Amino acid sequence: MADSQPGSQHGAIDSVLNETRVFPPPAPERAGTPRWLVSSMDEYRAMHARSIEDPEAFWAEAAGELHWFEPWSKVLEWSLPDAKWFVGAKTNLCYNCVDRHVEQWRGEHIGIVWEGEPMPGGEPEVCRLSYAQLQTETAKFANVLKGRGVKAGDVVTIYMGMVPELAIAVLACARIGAVHSVIFGGFSAQAIADRVVDASSKLIITCDGAWRRGKVVPLKQNVDDAIDKLDANTVETVIVLKRCGNQVSRADGRDVDWHEQTNAASDDCPCAPLDSEHMSFLLYTSGSTGKPKGIQHTVGGFMVYTYLTSKYVFNLIPGLDEPKRDDAQNGQVFWCTADVGWITGHSYIIYGIMPTGVPTLMYEGAPNFPGDDRFWDIVQRHKVTQFYTAPTAIRAFMKWGDKHPKKHDLSSLQVLGTVGEPINPEAWMWYHRVIGGETCPIVDTWWQTETGGHMLTPLPGVTPTKPGSCTLPFFGIDAAIVNDQGKELPKGSGGLLAIRKPWPSMLRGIFGDRERFIETYWSKLPGMYFPGDGAHTDSDGYFWIMGRVDDVMNVSGHRLGTMEVESALVSHESVVEAAVVGMPHEIKGTGIAAFVTLGNGFDPTDDLKAALREHVGKQIGAIAKPDQIRFTGALPKTRSGKIMRRLLRSIAAGETLVTQDTSTLEDYAVVAKLQESEEG
Ligand code: WTA
């Protein structure tokens, strides 16, 4: 196997393995939860065994907890790599997130709690939307979409800040079977243009701007710039929500105002009964080529799997089966700090959480605005019970210091979660001690855009945890460590992570690229899904993720392809050739190092480095700006012309962030010669 990205392990996993500290699950009363849904490891093992031996019965039962307009004729039809779950059934994601609660008797209960960012000096801006309000708002906005010609199966692009209307837009698409493609607000105009073209999307929903650390990110301007890059009339409609009050242009006939439209729309728009396999959304993610790929998800299987993982992994017990009572949400408030622009936001802000009936909290802005304690202030004020974030954020909190969380009462917390990248044991311990008060279980959830939901994860209150390990498979997941040929390796070995059975929320394809779908996920290992991660198990069979084994970097928990950044660099007039590798980074986990060869007439100056960083920011987004750029006369290559990435990785890892000779030309070709025999 290829070597994994440096930095993703923080060099600490081995040391922890040596002392393997096991944290037993706390009793429910210590963690403040009414009870744990699964009560023992024996129960987990029995449920897991059943889910593997008789998946159809297991998933039929899970699906039975949700609403279907028409039942399935078969639970699973599987012909690798194509899965169909709940064949022939009809359902609707928006119905299960919103309408169902209203139909049952919980219309006045809160579905979404939202907090805005602006507040220097003022009161926090909070909005609580009941399921009944959400039903009205999603129906109205669905009618707006219909009025602009959107039909089931059409792709709607959403590029908004974290406002409640973002959830409404997503759910309105789900209501009528439109396929949403949400683009993270940190992506650039070029990235928007690429995605709009790939998905042939004719309608974009955006905001004038988004609040971020007290400043306005000009979303509408970015959309305008993206449209300028496209053929005329590609985009027919832009719906603009006013949020920040910044000046934006308004193109006649094309641009319409969110509120003008919704005020005039009827609130009568029943949820469309959609085929279980209907495409619910596309989400673009980075792979090992220059071009992000549109991952396709479904309605039925995606819904059932994200619902069941939400329920068990976060121990959500809203008490829906109990007689009508005011506290039927059991006082739980779930908060996932991701942006809806990533899969984590799709699955665990909206689609998996809302059907449970526990309110989901959305926060608009930065974790350190106006102060470094903003998140803990939110936890305290909203009495958050489940808190789900990324290791990169935890490392930043650690750095800002214990005094910020210590200012706040965090005793409402029942479960803590992490996602997106391997968590280093130091960060895990800090999370456990300072945020969890040593009584909250931590669920380290391993999964991907492609998997739709959690794959490897502890169950809170059940699974003994070890800092840095995502522990064991969720129900229905058959995971193994295999070698290059797909042969299973014994417990305790390292190799490639593989998933050997289909699961309901697995991706159904890469939009418009069947070949790449098969090539990327289904060709490396015979008969199995290949996620692209290296991992090992320990003697308890616990999984430890080592990081990507392909050319994908995990920067602050965000996926970026090395080739994507390289393509952005070489599109600059000064660059002849570029090689990008990951390097260890204290906060981001993996930082980006770029080795760049310049064309004749371009000087290797610090100004040019700054210009190149800006250029990458424009091509992709700020998250892709290299942390380090080194100019080199030539890139180190093997005799057969392959760039020696491993050598570049060790050069990048061996240096401090700011080198002494920032603007001199370095020559790695010499080092390459010395290393060549070793690297091959
Ligand atoms: C990495 C995010 C270690 C992994 C949900 C995977 C993790 C990629 C973990 C997917 C974890 C995610 N421990 N590594 N708990 N969770 N990863 O598609 O390399 O943005 O392949 O999905 O993140 O990133 P994606």
**Which residue from 446, 449, 549 has its CB within 8 A of the most atoms of ligand 1, so it is best to mutate?**
446
Q: 3-state class of 620 per DSSP?
A: coil
Question: What is the per-residue pLDDT across 438-475, written as a single tens digit (0 to 9) for each?
Answer: 999 999 999 999 999 999 999 999 999 999 999 999 99
Contact between 333 and 365 (Cβ < 8 Å): no
* CA of residue 533 to ligand 1 center, whole Å: 9
Q: Using CB atoms within 10 A of its CB, is residue 490 exposed (0-12), middle (13-18) or buried (19+)?
A: exposed
Cα 194 from chain centroid?
20
Question: For a pLDDT cut of 70, what percent of the chain falls above it?
Answer: 92
List residues bridging with 301 in a β-sheet: none
- Average pLDDT in the chain: 92
List residues bridging with 70 in a β-sheet: 90
Q: What phi, psi does 584 have (nearest 5°)?
A: -60, 140
Residue 656's pLDDT band, with cuts at 50, 70 and 90, is: very low
Question: What's the whole-model pTM score?
Answer: 0.93
The torsion angle over the Cα atoms of residues 173, 177, 178 and 184, rounded to 10 degrees, is 50
Closest to 285 in 3D by CA, of 184, 423, 386, 357: 184
Angle between helices 300-313 and 55-63 (to 10 degrees): 80
235 Cβ contact partners less than 8 Å away, ≥ 6 residues apart: 196, 201, 202, 203, 204, 227, 254
User: Of all atoms in ligand 1, which is nearest to the CA of residue 531?
Assistant: 21
DSSP 525: S
The torsion angle over the Cα atoms of residues 432, 435, 441 and 444, rounded to 10 degrees, is -70
Q: Using CB atoms within 10 A of its CB, is residue 279 exposed (0-12), middle (13-18) or buried (19+)?
A: buried
Residue type, position 488, single letter: E
Contact between 13 and 544 (Cβ < 8 Å): yes
Decide which of 3.30.300.30, 3.40.50.720, 3.30.420.110, 3.40.50.1860 is the CATH code for 556-676: 3.30.300.30
Higher pLDDT, 412 or 319: 412
Pocket of ligand 1 (CB under 6 A): 285, 342-344, 419-422, 444-449, 470, 531-533, 545, 548, 554, 559
Closest to 373 in 3D by CA, of 30, 119, 31: 119
CA distance 170 to 508: 20
Mean pLDDT of 539-544: 95
User: Of all atoms in ligand 1, which is nearest to the CA of residue 545?
Assistant: 3
357 Cβ contact partners less than 8 Å away, ≥ 6 residues apart: 101, 106, 109, 318, 320, 328, 329
Closest to 605 in 3D by CA, of 580, 565, 574, 566: 574
- The structure tokens listed for 373 are 């304690």
Q: For ligand 1, atom 22, which residue shows the shortest CA distance?
A: 448
- The structure tokens listed for 379 are 């936890």
Kindly report which listed range (2-6, 623-627, 642-646) carries the lowest average pLDDT score: 2-6
Domain layout of the chain by residue ranges: 26-92+298-337+344-546, 119-281, 556-676
pLDDT, residue 84, reads: 98
User: Of all atoms in ligand 1, which is nearest to the CA of residue 444?
Assistant: 15
Contact between 188 and 222 (Cβ < 8 Å): yes
User: Of all atoms in ligand 1, which is nearest to the CA of residue 418?
Assistant: 15
User: Of all atoms in ligand 1, which is nearest to the CA of residue 344?
Assistant: 5
Contact between 534 and 367 (Cβ < 8 Å): no
Contact between 301 and 178 (Cβ < 8 Å): no
Alpha carbons within 13 angstroms on the beta-carbon side of residue 204 total 32
Question: What is the per-residue pLDDT across 271-312, written as a single tens digit (0 to 9) for each?
Answer: 999 999 999 999 999 988 778 999 999 999 999 999 999 999
Decide which of 3.10.150.10, 3.30.420.10, 3.40.50.360, 3.40.50.12780 is the CATH code for 26-92+298-337+344-546: 3.40.50.12780
Question: What is the per-residue pLDDT across 35-89, written as a single tens digit (0 to 9) for each?
Answer: 999 999 999 999 999 999 999 999 999 999 999 999 999 999 999 999 999 999 9
Please measure the distance between the N-terminal and C-terminal CA atoms of the chain and give it in whole angstroms. Answer: 14
User: Of all atoms in ligand 1, which is nearest to the CA of residue 448?
Assistant: 22
* CA of residue 451 to ligand 1 center, whole Å: 10
The class level of CATH for 119-281 reads alpha beta
The torsion angle over the Cα atoms of residues 632, 638, 642 and 644, rounded to 10 degrees, is -60
User: Of all atoms in ligand 1, which is nearest to the CA of residue 456?
Assistant: 15
Q: For ligand 1, atom 23, which residue shows the shortest CA distance?
A: 420
CA distance 257 to 342: 26
Residue type, position 182, single letter: V
User: Of all atoms in ligand 1, which is nearest to the CA of residue 422?
Assistant: 3
* CA of residue 346 to ligand 1 center, whole Å: 15
CA distance 364 to 404: 20
**Which residue from 296, 394, 524, 545 has its CB within 8 A of the most atoms of ligand 1, so it is best to mutate?**
545
Mean pLDDT of 398-419: 97
Kindly report which listed range (175-184, 247-256, 428-437, 662-671) carries the lowest average pLDDT score: 662-671
* CA of residue 457 to ligand 1 center, whole Å: 12
Question: What is the per-residue pLDDT across 613-638, written as a single tens digit (0 to 9) for each?
Answer: 999 999 999 999 999 999 998 888 88
**Which residue from 554, 558, 564 has its CB within 8 A of the most atoms of ligand 1, so it is best to mutate?**
554
Closest to 110 in 3D by CA, of 294, 360, 295: 360
pLDDT, residue 10, reads: 37
Mean pLDDT of 391-405: 96
User: Of all atoms in ligand 1, which is nearest to the CA of residue 449?
Assistant: 18
* CA of residue 199 to ligand 1 center, whole Å: 24
* C-alpha to C-alpha distances, 474 to 44, 208, 349, 445, 470, nearest whole angstrom: 9, 41, 19, 10, 11
* C-alpha to C-alpha distances, 551 to 287, 452, 495, 559, 643, nearest whole angstrom: 7, 21, 17, 10, 13
Mean pLDDT of 92-110: 95
SS (H, E, C) 335-359: EECCCCCCHHHHHHHHHCCHHHCCC
Closest to 191 in 3D by CA, of 580, 567, 575: 567
Q: For ligand 1, atom 1, which residue shows the shortest CA distance?
A: 421
CA distance 179 to 282: 7
DSSP 269: -
**Which residue from 424, 447, 521, 546 has its CB within 8 A of the most atoms of ligand 1, so it is best to mutate?**
447
Angle, CA of 432, 35 and 331, to the nearest 5°: 85
* CA of residue 555 to ligand 1 center, whole Å: 11
Identical fold for domains 26-92+298-337+344-546 and 119-281, yes or no, is yes
* CA of residue 483 to ligand 1 center, whole Å: 20
DSSP 130: E
* CA of residue 9 to ligand 1 center, whole Å: 13
